[in-house]
Structure 1
Amino acid sequence: MSGQTIGNAVAVRDNGPGALVAAHRADIELVMPSHMQKRVGAWIRTTQGLLRRDEKLLKAAQNDVGQFMSVLLDAARLGLEPGTEQYYLVRRYNRKKGYDEVTGVRGYQGEIELMYRAGAVSSVIVEVVRQRDGFKYRPGRDERPEHDIDWDLSLEARGDLRIAYAYAVMKDGATSKVVVLNRGHIAKARAKSDGADQSWSPWNTDEEAMWLKTAAHRLAKWVPTSAEYIREQLRAKADVDAERQPAPLPTGPLPQPFDSSEPHDEDDAIDAEFVDDETGEARS
């Protein structure tokens, strides 16, 4: 079977949205970060495979194909893999429309990926603390949290989730702001999430991942993300390069050499002006 025949068979089996994803390959590739563009084919096949495996998700995508494509383009723009812990594809009931549609939820791995991609951090730590874990962090006194785990205990034996925390170690060795969230903080975040009470919500299918995601999302406010950081770096480099450029040579006529043989009055004063060439400014 030829590659074209296989492609057609996949399109028919996807019954609409899968074929639409392939048809919009150029649009998806256009918004993707450059490092992802070589993998656009695999990215599309992963999305099509997800639709084939989940009939309810496929039906939601068919209900509103425009909404589905908007979600995929958002994932592509961020350079994240849809249907993974980087970027969840979730069915959501739209009360105004009266049917399920597909929405996107950025996962904790997606939040971390964007921090690393910025190039400012050397490591990102996002963890959950369970009831029988030891945890200590005193803001203003401790640089980083102390989290003790008895690895001999099973996950169940460690107890229920009680805290999520996140921080980043910058490339200069400094520690970012430390984010610590208790169960109350997580409950407020969950209450703001559409469909969190539904059985298909990642809040119910993967609760720990959503605790991690909430902490990582809060940390993202204090750590550079890819777009803003790269723009700042480019601007700073442009400023440095401009300062290093040699001063332009004069374009007018060159001054005449001084003729020492020309008589002059030694008592005549020479008007002069001192110019301070220092133009650098202190930067914070």
Structure 2
Amino acid sequence: MALSTLKERVQARAAVVADTEEIRHDRADDVEETPAGRDHDVQQFRADIEAALPKHISVDRFCTVLSQVLPKLRKCTPASVRQAVITCAKFGLLPDGDEAVITADDRIATFLATYHGYIELMWRSGLVKSVVAKVVYEGDEWEFVPTARVGEDFVHKPDLLASKKDRKPLFAYSFAWLDGGARSEVATVTVEEAEEIRDEFSKAYQRAEANGKKDSLWHTRFPDMLLKTAVRRMAKLGPKSAELRALVAVERAAEEGRPQILAAIDPETAALEAEARRAARAAEASQDVPASRLAVKTRGRAKPRRRHRDKNRKTRR
């Protein structure tokens, strides 16, 4: 359900900020868990889901998928679960592990899109016809010649009979065929590059390493995260929809430990807020002009007026 008036957007923004403050406070070590044996109730989120979910996605289907996820979030704070659910619904991605996931990270529920989720948003934008994303393993045949013509610049022949368990991934690649027949550049990400990105930016990976659980997505689904890194890199090379830009901002917020739901604000509302901030800064700057300057300008304008009035008086006489 779109927010059609400024008043509605302001009200929604106020509610989000209130939830954000709750999420920040809930990061304390003494947060109470949902009582053992009790899960978050999917029905308590239904109204929020229906308001955020695109019309082409069934609310019942989303809730059915979510009901399988909520038991895994019982240790997460209620406010973080709510904001993760709403953010996931806003993008119209199912938290089924294929399009998106909602993970429990340090008692905070976090929404993350998979590489399939990114591809879904690219396809949904109408700017992209198809996306190719694959991992190249040891034993595969491949050739990459960036200066060759499109269609001949990259060739990958996977060894379909070899088991992936016995082979080491080398790199992931991704490219897209755009509306109109053009093709994007081929984006590649080596395992070493992906590990450097992971080590620097993924707070979930760092915590999983520190506590010894090794249960982050980088630990449990490394090939998928390698593919996602390639898809995100490719997305920077082609046309970007507002929804895709918002998804990147949402995931960056998760990496930096900020509430995701603030980054999911629609572009129109974000533009209004930016304009309001610029107007406020301009108003503050105008008050910083020294009073003496104003007085000089006032006297300068007044003198011609007095001369003009004197001239009129002489004319009457």
TM band (smaller chain): 0.5 to 0.7
CA distance in 1, matches of 2:240, 2:100: 16
Query: Which runs of 5 or more structure 2 residues have no equivalent in the other structure?
Result: 1-34, 209-213, 245-317
Contact 2:91 2:243 in 1 (8 A): no
Contact 2:174 2:231 in 1 (8 A): yes
Find the partner of 2:60 among 2, 23, 41: 41
Find the partner of 2:224 among 176, 185, 209: 209
Q: Which residue number corresponds to residue 69 of structure 1?
A: 82
Residues 205-249 of structure 1, C-alpha deviations (whole Å, 9 max, x = no match): 1111111111111222233355469xxxxxxxxxxxxxxxxxxxx
Give 1:149 deviation, angstroms: 1.4
3-state SS of 1:169 partner:
strand
Runs of 4+ in 1 over 3 A off after TM superposition: 223-229
Contact 1:117 1:225 in 2 (8 A): no
Q: Which residue number corresponds to residue 93 of structure 2?
A: 80
Q: Which residue number corresponds to residue 38 of structure 2?
A: 15
Contact 2:81 2:108 in 1 (8 A): yes
Q: Which has the higher helix share?
A: 2
CA distance in 1, matches of 2:239, 2:90: 17
Contact 1:114 1:225 in 2 (8 A): no
Residues 113-166 of structure 1, C-alpha deviations (whole Å, 9 max, x = no match): 001101122210000111211221122324242001122222234x21111100
* Residues 235-274 of structure 1: pairs in structure 2 closer than 5 A: none
Letter in 2 for 1:15: R
Q: Which residue number corresponds to residue 52 of structure 2?
A: 31
CA distance in 2, matches of 1:65, 1:14: 15
CA distance in 1, matches of 2:149, 2:190: 18
3-state SS of 1:209 partner:
helix
Number of residue pairs matched? 201
Task: Give TM-score, length-normalised by structure 1.
Answer: 0.65
CA spacing shift, 1:79–1:225, aligned 2, 3 Å: farther
Find the partner of 2:182 among 174, 180, 186: 174
3-state SS of 2:61 partner:
helix
Q: Which residue number corresponds to residue 236 of structure 2?
A: 221
* Residues 7-156 of structure 1: pairs in structure 2 closer than 5 A: 15=38, 17=40, 19=41, 21-36=42-57, 39-52=58-71, 54=72, 57-60=73-76, 64-93=77-106, 100-143=107-150, 144-156=153-165
CA distance in 2, matches of 1:14, 1:221: 44
Letter in 1 for 2:162: L
Q: Which residue number corresponds to residue 191 of structure 2?
A: 183
Letter in 2 for 1:58: R
Letter in 2 for 1:113: E
Q: Which residue number corresponds to residue 195 of structure 1?
A: 204
Contact 1:129 1:164 in 2 (8 A): yes
Letter in 2 for 1:184: E
Letter in 2 for 1:59: K
3-state SS of 1:196 partner:
helix
CA distance in 2, matches of 1:127, 1:120: 21
CA distance in 2, matches of 1:26, 1:154: 46
**Cα RMSD (Å) of the superposition?**
2.2
Contact 1:165 1:178 in 2 (8 A): yes
Contact 1:115 1:223 in 2 (8 A): no
Give 1:23 deviation, angstroms: 2.3
Give 1:202 deviation, angstroms: 1.0
Task: Give TM-score, length-normalised by structure 2.
Answer: 0.59
Letter in 2 for 1:160: K
Contact 2:171 2:189 in 1 (8 A): yes
3-state SS of 1:24 partner:
helix
CA distance in 2, matches of 1:85, 1:204: 17
CA spacing shift, 1:70–1:217, aligned 2, 3 Å: same
3-state SS of 2:74 partner:
helix
Between 121-130 and 138-147, the greater mean CA deviation after superposition: 138-147
CA distance in 2, matches of 1:79, 1:196: 26
